[in-house]
Structure 1
Amino acid sequence: MLISLTIGDMGLSPAEEHGIIGLLKMIPSYDLIAFVATITNGLVKTDNPNDAVQAIIKYCKDSLDILKRKKITKDLLFRYLKEVNVEVSPRCDKTELIHKCLNYWQVSSISSETIDWEMCEMENSIPDYNSLNLQSNQLTDDKLLSMGTSFSKWFYNLLNDVNNPAVFGPQHFWSDCMVAGTISTAQGENIPFSANGDLPTIEAIKNAVNHFQYSFEPNLYKDINCYMETHGLIKIQVNGVIYKNCSQPDGVFESAFGLIKNPHVADDNWKIKFIEMHWKVNCSPVNYNSMVPYT
């Protein structure tokens, strides 16, 4: 169900709306639902793809506000233009493809200069929490560290919104991903939790976080390790502090992640292959086994 939100918009022409709907229907449902949060800064939530399309159209500033987003990939624009019989070269970059879309829809309210400027800003922007786009070309040690820092901030922003399926959803995980975790308590208990597969992994982590009512603050200033193995797997290690009810420190965590690049996305997009977690907390879990259905 959509919540009420008032956002001023310029309104799309019938040709623009028809074209945008065609593009959005080419996006997987889980990405489409997450796209709503991007367009509305997280203020509109829906789990219905048709509602998601309508919300994106209703609350976008203009068609460029949609086309410039990272979920509208170069490949997606190329396939759309081919479907509507617009002549296009595979050598066109995303900005050129956006120009062709707007020309096809006969949009005169957005200048070429505006398109070029906004696309330049998007290319230099920090990734939002709805997608993981990390620049991995020509990776030096400094760039790997920057990549690890960006990922750590991105992931723990997601984890702190774990109950929002549009945010902490399967779009960020490979289907055969896994999580392996241990919760160590002040009473000397060491309680493992694990899961295999994207949905079981999400559910296992979500259940653990909700059980303790925890939030996480990664240390982005020290001891982040990020390196690439010879076959391309990125490994990231980050530690931090655990808070109870978003206010009271209750322990610390250590975590490690494996990332593999998604070859089906034109942007430099990565998905999570594995997660290892170790939480050292003061609280003693109650009925923990009953809340972890996936092992």
Structure 2
Amino acid sequence: MAINKNIHTIDLMLGIPEQEDRSDWYKFMEPLLRDEESRSMFKMPAQYMFKDIPETGSHDDFIQYTIEQMDRFHINQAMIGFHESSEVKIEAAKNHTDRFFFDLPVNPNIENEAQNIKRHYETYGIKAVSAFPSGMYPQIAINDPKWHPIYEMCVELDIPFFCCVGVPGPRIPMAPQKVELVDEVCWYFPELKFVMRHGAEPWTALACKLMLKYPNLYYSTSAFSPKHYPQDIINFANTRGIDKIMYAGYFPMGLSLDKIFSEMDSVPFKDEVWPKFLGENARKLLKL
């Protein structure tokens, strides 16, 4: 059921590699890494959690390489983290709008970040904003007022905010990402479309309770292979959360598409859940 040419599939977390060595993707986290093993993990700071992190190799055209990987598994579109300094991302945004759309990673520690979001929206057509509260330095909790200008801009532009929640994989403090903090944000900004990323563990039952409570709160499955999807999330998708749960992978950061889709058929979603999970919910939320 999972690999189906007739289902418009959207991956809400996929990366375009730009070189064989991807270690520079995680330099922003270096000030937070205190133990020697984390500092020496050359592939990613949460390397201990993942087996067989994909090797993308060297390619003349990394965009075409990424599209070929998507085509193998009938992924029609993918959301990519945008960086204005990246020539590859600029090219993808200009010439491959049929396959890629973009989220802008943000950090409230940066002055005028809200206006930066608006500029990227107007210039590059970003579809969403994303954040890793535990990964920025200094850390800023999800409900900290420093986020308010960013939340307000997302509401103004009517674009969703994708946010890592739950215990982070890297050995850094979890306090900024406690799921309970999402409650205050959704209460204070009822029009904000907030999408939980990276598991929400160990508070998945609370995540589901909050999704019942708030109409604009959603969940994406990023960084989890299908055999590790939390049972609370599966149960919620099969019942009252059919419109709230969305597929996101983690290629090539930590998971291969081969691994993800080899496990996908074992996920016990009801038949009517699959089209919504794989694409329909994302299309509606992001107005694709």
Higher RCO (Cα < 8 Å, 6 or more apart) = 2
Bucket of the pairwise TM-score, normalised by the shorter protein: under 0.3
Which is higher, the Rg of structure 1 or of structure 2?
1
Give the number of the structure whose residues are more often strand, by fraction. Answer: 1
Q: TM-score, normalised by structure 1?
A: 0.25
